[in-house]
Amino acid sequence: MMKKVVSAILLVTISFTYTTAQQGVNEISFGKGLLNYVSSDSTFSIKFAPRFQSRFNTIWSHSGSEYGKAESQFLVRRARLKFSGWAYSTNLKYKIEIGLSNKDLGGANAYTNNAPKQLLDAVLMWQFAPNWELWAGQTKLPGNVERVVSSSSLQFIDRSILNSKFNIDRDTGLQLRHKSLWGSKFVSREKLAISQGEGRNITTGNLGGLQYTARIELIPFGEFTKKGDYFESDLKREQTPKLMLGYTYNFNNDAVKTRSGLGSYMNTANGFFQTDITTTFTDLVFKYNGWSVLAEIAERNAENAIAENEDGTATGDIVHIGRAINSQIGYLFENNFEIAARFSTITYDDVVGIVNPEQYTLGVSKYLSGHKLKIQADITKSLINGLDDEVIFRSGFELHF
């Protein structure tokens, strides 16, 4: 079924691209989308921008006394079809993103109708007044900045362990967004969201309560060039220092998963274990003259971390509560070659009983056309509870039309 859907999408896109090109209205260039069309009566627009990431990974695991033989893997990490534009009015925008790789499609279960989770984004964005937007549909929640940055615009091969274990990811619901200008440069952005609370592509209805997210961003020295606070590396080489300070508060009422909207369901003998989960993020982005810094602190708490049956016996599921830190710094040379370093660590609360990971990463990138076409490599030393765990070498490229 999926092959038929993808084939139909590609066939329609190719046909539409050829037709509009013949009409002379499909003026495009690399990095601006494979298709970029505005209707002749200006009632809609569509941009089609496929992309994929290919990887080569090598891991040396530590046995307790020495590192063992390397294990290697070739992988298509992401392959996606992205559609965006506006409909009826330029004030009504939309975004659709579909995942195609096996990594994108994982997680099928009874709560997603046993179907691959191929839909990433399907959201309408209505600018109903100056500096005000109302979003509706499925998309990323206004969480930690590292997660909201597109996976195509990262400084390293992939995001940190803070993000993989603490982010609040995508959900379905409503978001209200506002931007304010204070004086000549100081900008603040306020974002509120109400969502289902169980992540993307859920078809079984709301099993727990709703999820509430609030985020505030302060940009004291003026806005970044071309939204540079939401792509990593200082590709625009900011001529004056630029800084963003952000804070997110997320409350998931009667959550039924071990990581709020992510993780595994906490099943009981007669349904689901429910508990209130709170997640907070404090983050910082700084850029100036080729230098870039990103720093994050995450914390998750739960009313009851140990899931129980109605008779008080433990189910075996535990909410992953604790704290995490991620910090990274990079410098972009004039030839668009970058070197970057990252430190990430997680400290789980004792009640969780999960090992505490720590990672040190050194990465290099060569940007051939910004984040649209780049080659990257990084090497990571990973520790568990302070002891050697593994060394990971990763390399790959991004191609984004």
| pLDDT per residue as tens digits for the range 323-332 | 999 999 999 9
Q: Does the pLDDT at position 113 exceed 60?
A: yes
DSSP letters of 10-74? HHHHHHHHHHHHHHT-----TTS-SEEEE-TTSSBEEEE--EEEEEEEEEEEB-SSSB---EEEE
Give the integer Cα–Cα distance in Å for 194 and 252.
10
The pLDDT of residue 204: 86
Give the integer Cα–Cα distance in Å for 22 and 41.
17
Helix (H, G, I), strand (E, B) or coil at 246: strand
Residue extents of the structural domains in the chain = 49-400
Q: Which amino acid is at 265?
A: Y
218 phi and psi angles, rounded to 5 deg: -115, 125
What number of other Cβ atoms are within 10 A of residue 335's Cβ? 8
Helix (H, G, I), strand (E, B) or coil at 243: strand
pTM: 0.92
Give the integer Cα–Cα distance in Å for 233 and 292.
6
For 139-197, the pLDDT digits (tens) are 999 999 999 999 999 999 999 999 999 999 999 999 999 999 999 999 999 999 999 99
Question: Which of these CATH numbers, 3.50.50.60, 2.40.160.10, 3.30.1330.90, 2.40.10.10, describes 49-400?
Answer: 2.40.160.10
Assigned token pair, 254? 């009667």
Give the containing element (helix H, strand E) for 162: helix 161-166
Average pLDDT of the chain to the nearest whole number: 93
Q: Tell me how long the chain is.
A: 401
Count Cβ atoms within 10 A of the Cβ of residue 281 and give its class: 0-12 exposed, 13-18 middle, 19 or more buried: buried
Q: Does the pLDDT at position 43 exceed 80?
A: yes
Compute the chain's Rg from CA coordinates: 22
